[in-house]
Structure 1
Amino acid sequence: MSKTKLIIQKNGSIKIEGDFEIMDSEGTVYGLQGRAALGLCRCGQSANKPFCDGAHRNNFECEAKAFDLPPMKTK
């Protein structure tokens, strides 16, 4: 089993790689047909949501740079 990676791509999708499953809000699993990598839409323009279909090209600009989150709050 490989470690799951999420890669936030510049002006594009969230690429997910590794051992994963994706469920809808009701807990139904999407049939991924053995894929070990795919793109998740983050622009909202895909006709195939939650998966990326490339509809964002030339219409979506969002560059995410990694940073450290603040410590979690504890009671």
Structure 2
Amino acid sequence: MDSPADRPCRISVQRRGPLLVEGPVEVELEDGTTVVSDRFRVAVCTCRRSRRYPWCDTSHRDRERKPS
């Protein structure tokens, strides 16, 4: 039988965006602390701009709109 524990964790890489990881996940930070999310998919920040680091808060997006 193909249970979720038998399948590898899926991580989606996006150009100029977060890593999308199928959850639940545990992330070990540089200082050794661990943060946990039980959501079915989480966005892990790769730009380090997020106020909720290591979770993405979309700070990587360009906030300034370009004229049309």
TM-score (norm: length of structure 2): 0.64
Give the TM-score normalised by the residue count of structure 1: 0.59
CA RMSD of aligned residues (A): 2.1
Say which structure is richer in helix: 2
Q: Are the equivalent residues in 2 in contact too, given 1:4–1:20 (CA < 8 A)?
A: no
Q: After TM superposition, where is structure 1 displaced by more than 3 Å over at least 4 residues in a row?
A: 25-28
Give 1 or 2: higher strand fraction. 2
Q: How many correspondences in the alignment?
A: 58
Quote the Cα distance in structure 2 between the aligned partners of 1:4 and 1:40: 14
In 1, are the aligned partners of 2:23 and 2:39 still within 8 Å (CA)? no
What are structure 1's unaligned runs of at least 5 residues?
60-75
Confirm whether residue 8 of structure 1 aligns to residue 17 of structure 2.
no
> Which secondary structure does the structure 1 equivalent of 2:11 belong to?
strand
Q: State the match for 1:28 in structure 2.
A: 33
